[in-house]
Structure 1
Amino acid sequence: MTAMLPVAVLREWQMLSTAAFYDMTSADDRWRSSADLGQLFEALIDKLKPDIFVEAGAFDGKTSLNMKRRHPAIRAVAFEANPHNHAHFEAELKHGRAGVEYLNLAVSNATGQTSFKVLKHLHGKELPRRNLRSSLLARNEEGVTYEDVSVEAVSLDGFFGDLGEKRCAAWIDVEGAIGLALEGAQSFLANTHLLMVEVEETEFWQGQWQAPKVVRFLAEHNLVPIARDFESHEQFNYVFVRSGRLADAKVKNCVINYLSRCAHPKPAAAG
């Protein structure tokens, strides 16, 4: 058992206490928990100053555009597998002009052509092809139909190769395919100082890794969870930091400010 696993498990239980800052029956408060976590992630980017930022499951790539604006020297790479999303937002937002690499690629555990499942119908409703809910994996329920499209897949290890001393940060939100993304990122993770991932407690997608397995895997790569949101009981986001940065005063101050903001939200502006 890796030395980081007990630390990661303890941190996971400690993070549950931050639910006290939110009303779990309120959709607005659940949204606020996600917004607070996103602000923590951005603050840590500002302090840790990574050389590379990766957004896997980027949809419109706006997070990468924001990172590039905040940190012009950063290499921002946004991966979006859904060709309908990519074609629309590449034309609309023109990421290349801003210096962002916005790529129609799936992040997986190997390089080559693969089938990507664009959702067509879910829960009896037709969905637009441009959506946030498509995946490399099939959903674990009946009554779902897909448009299967062939896309190019890459592993983060294969795409970035030897990173040397470069420091990386990543946000991975790939609709259940987190296991595939992490399996193909073992060298990349050795250079990763900050990571945000969407996880699930329930197997919504066939063969997906659930939250405990993600935590165990990342602990083996010296990444420890420091905060989470409460998007829902079964799906939420973690922020992980490299274990060697836990004693960093800059990291501690970011977490202090995050917890203070959670406990003392600013009132909504009038009008």
Structure 2
Amino acid sequence: MRPAIPLLSLAIALAACTPSNPPAETPPPAGVAAAPATRAVDAQALAASHWRLADAVDAGGRRIDALFPAPDQPLQLDFADGRVSVSGGCNQMSGGYTLSGDRFEVGALAQTKKFCGGGALMAADDAIGARLAGAGTLATGDDGRLVLTTAGGDRLTFAGTPTAETTYGGEGERVFLEVAAERVPCHHPMMPDYRCLHVREITYDDKGIKQETGEWEYLYQDIEGYTHEPGVRNVLRLKRFEVANPPADGSSIAYVLDMVVESESVNPGA
């Protein structure tokens, strides 16, 4: 009969065969940042903000330069009524989407057919369209940013800016204003030598046919999202909001640009 090995001796022998320090986990490749912690997002939260592209890297951690055609014009996603729209490139793009947990899938994208010289803006259209195609994941990080991860491992990070509806607490009223080509002198109680936008309201019927044109009047405030170019007359589609608690020197009405409907260069001598 073989002698029995005492249990204590067996434990010591096994301990001697076990490394004192377990091997460290293999670190990620150099230059690849760890994916940030994220949590699921819902359609209501998506619709509450404009989402502007802040960062984009491929699966290897390399910046995707094609998604940044102009430093002052980031690509932007907007979500409403089950659709996602893209702006900031050459063309406007939009398509239906579904969101289940963090699984995000975009259907076929429709887009305008504008041509942009230089190629960078059109390349950005192709780049964002390719990354929205098909399925991926969509979630928010601890910092509130939106993180889109494609099936190929690209990671796009968007910073949110509240929409006007979120800021002012309502849907607002759609109005159309014609803005004259030149600002005009006006008496502003807070700003001497101020030059107002010269505007008049236009009403259209349900078919888009002009019905009435109001009288010209001074607009003593700016229109959010609109930059006036001297010598250019515009017809703007706006959203008009009531400001709940305006400052003492501010307006109780806010105008936010929705769309430039018509634009025309005007000869000052005409």
TM value normalised by structure 1: 0.23
Structure with the higher fraction of residues in helix conformation: 1
**CA radius of gyration, larger in:** 2
- Structure number with higher strand proportion: 2
